[in-house]
Amino acid sequence: MIESQMNQLAPPDASGYFHQDPVRAGAQNLIEGCLGAVYGKEILIVAEDPRLGWYDAAAPASVEAALLEMGASVKKLMVGAPQNHALTAVQTAIDAADEVIFFARIGDQGRFKSQYQGPRPVMSYARNAAMLASGYGQLNHNAMVALKDVIDEITLGARHIRITCPLGTDIEGSPGQSLAKGDEVVVSRYPMGVPKPLSVNGFTGVVKLTHYLTSAGSKVYEPAYLELPDIVTARIDGTRMADITGPADLVAAFRGHYEQVAAKFGLDAFNIDSWHAGIHPLMGYDMLASADPERWSQTVFSNPRILHFHTCGMGPPGEICWMIIDPTITIDGIALWENGRLHPERFAPTMDVLRAAPELASAFAKPVGDIGLGDAC
């Protein structure tokens, strides 16, 4: 069901609207950072049914209120859980809109290849009003985009990259065939949380896996995750899992999970495509990962304590994610990430961004460390 509202006021001065209301400040950050001027435009908000437990109703309502105050007209469309096909009602609503904001997982399904035709949509990973109001939602979006862009330059221009973690992950290689030009996604992500993925082609070593294998959020399948109560070791040789070792029953379950997902979608089961790590210093996850491992992995990835791999299939995002906790990522001998903490002050281009945006420097001085796992690796 689509609801519509509009405001016929003159273009407002938005500069003073939100400073006393953190939820409104987050809404303003989304609108100004991702859409720019919205006066006179018709904005479609696609909101997921809050009863599904991923999004609340307050976050999209707050963005709607801000849009109306800024002179836009707003239509809302409530949707259900993701499916493995585009929804006609969504495309029809997009066709009538100037801009689109997704507070719904169906917007994330098409982040690398859109399911829908129309304007470049905004995909919100701020799942609720608390996240919108937090530092995660309020930290200057344009500054975070600038940071992401220079991190892309650093990682894509590297000669040698090494990734380690406390459990014993140790792989190394070079960016190789990674996408160097153009956008890697077809949505505007809010908040900005990850740089471009780097191709794993050319990397070799071992990856230590625990906690969960999770869905990448592109396709829908059951079970959506596999719990890993013990360590499974994947030896990688470029894009291939050359060997998988660990407790026999867990290795069998691991292989079975991959084979089941690959068979469902006609994929190369044991292919590894790419990886990237979180860059948002104020992303925190205040639920236990075990409460909903799929929601956890598809939300927490922006935190620098998380590096994730895209596996099972050719091209990002794959269909199964590996989540590596507290990575150290060394770029040509300098650790840009160290034990799960991003250090933009260690490279000149990222330091320039911190100088231009002091709020980022403050955020990186006191990053949020809660990722839903306690202190476990």
How many domains does the chain fold into? 2
Q: Is the pLDDT of residue 8 over 70?
A: no
CB 92: neighbour CB atoms within 10 A?
A: 11
Question: Do 251 and 360 sit in the same domain of this protein?
Answer: yes
In this prediction, residue 34 carries a pLDDT of 98
Question: Do 132 and 146 sit in the same domain of this protein?
Answer: no
Q: Are 127 and 54 a contacting pair, CB within 8 Å?
A: yes
- 376 located within any domain: no
- 24 located within any domain: yes
Average the pLDDT over 174-195 and give the result: 82
Higher pLDDT, 19 or 189: 189
Q: Is the pLDDT of residue 294 over 50?
A: yes
Average the pLDDT over 112-137 and give the result: 93
Question: Do 60 and 181 sit in the same domain of this protein?
Answer: no
Contacts of 264 (CB under 8 A, 6+ apart): 219, 221
Decide which of 108, 138, 168 is a domain's last residue.
Answer: 138
Which residue range(s) make up the domain with 193?
141-365
- 210 located within any domain: yes
Question: Do 116 and 265 sit in the same domain of this protein?
Answer: no
The CATH number for 39's domain is 3.40.50
- 343 located within any domain: yes
Decide which of 111, 138, 165 is a domain's last residue.
Answer: 138
In this prediction, residue 20 carries a pLDDT of 58
Question: Do 52 and 158 sit in the same domain of this protein?
Answer: no
Q: How far apart are CA 328 and CA 305, in angstroms?
A: 9
SS3 72: coil
Question: Do 111 and 151 sit in the same domain of this protein?
Answer: no
Decide which of 100, 118, 138 is a domain's last residue.
Answer: 138
Q: Is the pLDDT of residue 338 over 70?
A: yes
For 240-293, what is each residue's pLDDT tens digit? Answer: 999 999 999 999 999 999 999 999 999 999 999 999 999 999 999 989 999 999
